[in-house]
Amino acid sequence: MLLTIRKKLLIYYGVFLVISYGIAAILTGVLIRSGLNRLLYSNIANLNDNIVNTLEASGGADFYQTLNTARELSGVDLLVYQSGFVYYTSFSSQTLDLEKASLASEKYNVYRIIDNFQYYYFTQGSVDDGLYTIYVFRDEGSLMEQNQTIFLMSFIGIVFLAISISLISIFSAKTFAEPAQRLAAYVNNLSFQNRPIRRPKFNILEYEELSEALEQAHLRVYQYSQSEQEFLHNFSHEMKTPLTNIYSYAEAMYYGVLSKEEIQNTSEIIMHESEKLKDFINQVLYLGRLDSIGEVLNVSRINLVDIIGDALNTVDIQAKEKSLKIVFMHDQEDVYIYGDADKLEVALVNLVINAIRYAKTTVIVHLILTKEDIVITIDDDGMGIDEDIRDQIWERYFIGKEGHTGLGLTITKAIIEKHQAEISVGDNAMHGARFTIRFILSKKIIVSL
């Protein structure tokens, strides 16, 4: 069952309160009562000693009258023996048997006895050099009134603490639940098609961080949606041009309005435009595979010199169309690694085509082998890539000044990284762009994409 933060906090505080209240009740009943009893016995002993000392110091001729006065003033009961016989008693019963008394406190020498269903605490003393043995009795009822008053005050304190904790729990639940409700309302108003709206502000750090993270997440989704719409617009435009050319030239061939030489040229144009369409469609399909659960890498021992050579052969027509010179530099005839030949060729073709698109005269591909790594650099003598967009060029649907689909570099980066390699972009000595791929020989390849 799903619970709101408020209900959950109230439940947690309720359980905590019950446990705390139980512990407090036990401590109150055991420790406080025990402490009060010790205090009670101490007071009984001290007060009784004071009465005996007062009687000792009275020195009055009529000792019997002095006992009456002490009893009236202090409110205690007295039992006095003289030479083993009862000299004075304030009890109506003459059958008080002290041998039935029980020891209440050994430390303070306080005893407890019952007479006519009434409990008494008493101590023993003597005056006139032991001539009189005095027992001072205190009614348990009067003593317990003070004890119970203190105990009641302690219990009231516990109840007040419980109420305080309850109020704190309610306030805390509201404090945590209200920001969550505001965040929920904020998220419900978000749409990937609409511009980001102002997020709620909080004075609780965790909620403030969550609110900021939600705002950034929505901003990324919105930018992704905008890029996707821009991609669809650009892609439809790129598809429309070759399709229009293919249809126009095919129509001319169908109606026989072209000469034999024109038909051959027209066929070449149709083939070229068809290749462009195929490239666009392949990139979209490849993007779909990247978004799927995974694609297995067909890993084998491959020669990077051959892979790069095949990639350069693939883009040879585009280079010739722009009258560009492509230079492939490598010190070794064979440079072997373990990887997926087809996918690495796709990545290299995308990078070289990107270089051809911006180059003025030359594209240089350099393969370097060291003991630690293998480095491939692709340089062009174009205008280079601005520093403020170098991180963006890898993002899906990001289209540069002369780009097409905005997918090529995204696909390339995914392939390179799945081969446990690194790819980066910077400047070269010709003031153009340099793409660098670095294979670290000590790293193993993950065989899923």
pLDDT band at 372 (very low <50, low <70, confident <90, very high): confident
Portion of the chain with pLDDT greater than 70, in percent:
77
The answer to whether the CB of 32 falls within 8 A of the CB of 23 is: no
Kindly tell me if the per-residue pLDDT of 376 is higher than 90.
Answer: yes
**HEC sequence for 232-273:** HHHHHHHHHHHHHHHHHHHHHHHCCCCCHHHHHHHHHHHHHH
Residue of 135 and 203 predicted with greater confidence: 135
**Polymer length in residues for the chain:** 449
CA distances from 428 to 29, 321, 351, 379, 380 (A): 85, 24, 15, 7, 8
> pTM here?
0.47
Instruction: Round to whole Å and give the CA distance between 18 and 8.
Output: 15
Identify the bridge partners of residue 377 per DSSP, sorted by sequence position. 366, 436
Please name each of the domains of the chain with its CATH number: 5-159 (3.30.450), 205-290 (1.10.287.130), 295-440 (3.30.565.10)
Looking at residue 93, its amino acid is S
Lowest-confidence segment of 150-154, 297-301, 318-322 by average pLDDT: 150-154
> Where do we find the tokens 């003025």?
360
Looking at residue 272, its amino acid is H
Residues 6+ apart with CB under 8 A from 230: 397, 399, 406
Instruction: Round to whole Å and give the CA distance between 315 and 198.
Output: 48
- What confidence tens digit (pLDDT) does each residue in 90-143 have? 887 666 788 888 888 888 888 988 877 778 888 988 888 788 888 988 887 655
CA distances from 27 to 14, 23, 152, 221, 239 (A): 20, 6, 14, 58, 83
Using DSSP bridges, classify how beta strands 102-105 and 85-89 pair: parallel, antiparallel or unpaired. Answer: unpaired
Secondary structure (3-state) at 166: helix
